[in-house]
Amino acid sequence: MQKQDLKSKNLTELSGICSQLDLSKFKAKEIFKFIHQKAKTSIDDFTTIKLTERNQLKELFYISAIAPLKTEKAKDVLKIAFELGDGKVIETVFMDYGKDRKTLCISSQVGCPIGCQFCATGKMGFKRDLTVSEILSQVYFFAKDHKISNIVFMGMGEPLLNFDNVMAAAKTLNNESGLNIASRKIVISTIGIIEGIKKFAGESKQLRLAWSLVSPFDEVRKKLIGHKGLPTISETVAALKDYQNKTKRRITIEYVLLKEVNDSENDQQQLVKISKNLDCHINLIPYNSTGPNYIGGDVDKFRSSLKKIDPNINVTIRKSLGQDISAACGQLSSTN
C-alpha cells in the first residue's frame, strides 16, 4: 500500500485516521499541531505520541516537504525557489512591510495557464497544479523564521483553477490549531474565473477575493490575457455582484498600470464606472518589468485622475518590493 501524506489531511481526516488506528481523539489535534503549527516534517518528532503509535503511523503515512533550491534577498524581501518532488520549481516571496504586517506571496500552480503578456509566469506556460501539501509547505518553510500575518495567493498560477487544493490549504492556514492566520488576511487573486467565483461564494470562511482586471475594455483585455476561456468584463461583474449579494464581502480590483495601454482618460472613466457596480476598492499596481514590450504608467497621476472623476472612490497604490531580484508582482518564473 502506498503511503499517504499526513500534511494533506485536515483535522477531521486526522481524527478518522486516529480512530482507525485506535488512537485517542485528542492525538489527532496533537498531530495537526505538530505538522501545521510547529512545521514538523518527521513523524519521529511527534514527541507527545507514544513510540509504538508513531511506528504505526510511519507504516502508513509520511510528511512531505519541499526543498529550497535558491534564495535571493533584497531590502525587506526574501525570495526562495523551491524544488518539488518531481523536479519542478516554484517561487515564493516573503515581504516585510514593517510593524505587524509580514506578507507571504505563495504559488498555487507550477507555471500558469492564463498567459498574461506582461507576466513572467504567464510566459512559462502551465505545468501542473500544486497539491495541498505543496501549497502549505511554502508557508511553513518561512514560518519557521518569520511571523506571517498575511497570505496572498498571488504567486505563480491562477488560484481558482486549482480551487479545491487552494481552499483546503487556506482553511488549514486559518485553523486555530495551526498558524491561525485570520481569514480576512488571506487573499485569493483571480483573473475572473466565473465557476471559481461561484464556488467561492459558497465558502463560509471570510477569505478575501481580488479581481485582476488589467483593462476596463474587453478588446484590450483579450490582447493582454491569452486565456481562451476568459469571460467578458460584464460576465465577471455579474458573477462578482452575485458573490457579494451572498457574502456581503468587499472585493479588491487589482489594476496593473501599463503606459499607453490602459492608462488613458477613457480607461479612467470606464474603470470608475465598473467600480461603481461593486463594493470594492481599487489597488493600482506599478508594472514590474518582465521584458521590453511594456512600460509602467504613472500610478500617482492615474490615482489623482480617478479621484477627480469620483472623489469618493477608494483607490490605493501597492507598494512594490523586490524588483531588483525579480520578486515583485508579475516577475515570478521558473524554467523547470
In degrees rounded to 5, what are phi and psi of residue 190? -140, 150
329 counts as catalytic: yes
Name the catalytic one among 53, 91, 134, 158. Answer: 91
Read off the C-alpha cell for 299.
500610478
Contact 251, 277 (CB under 8 A): no
Burial 89-100 (b: 16+ CB within 10 A, else e): bbbbbbbeeeee
253: Cβ contacts below 8 Å, ≥ 6 apart: 210, 211, 213, 271, 274, 275, 278, 280, 281, 282, 283
* Centroid of chain to Cα 230: 19
Residue type at position 151 = I
Contact 89, 81 (CB under 8 A): yes
Name the catalytic one among 18, 116, 280, 329. Answer: 329
**Active-site residue numbers?**
91, 329
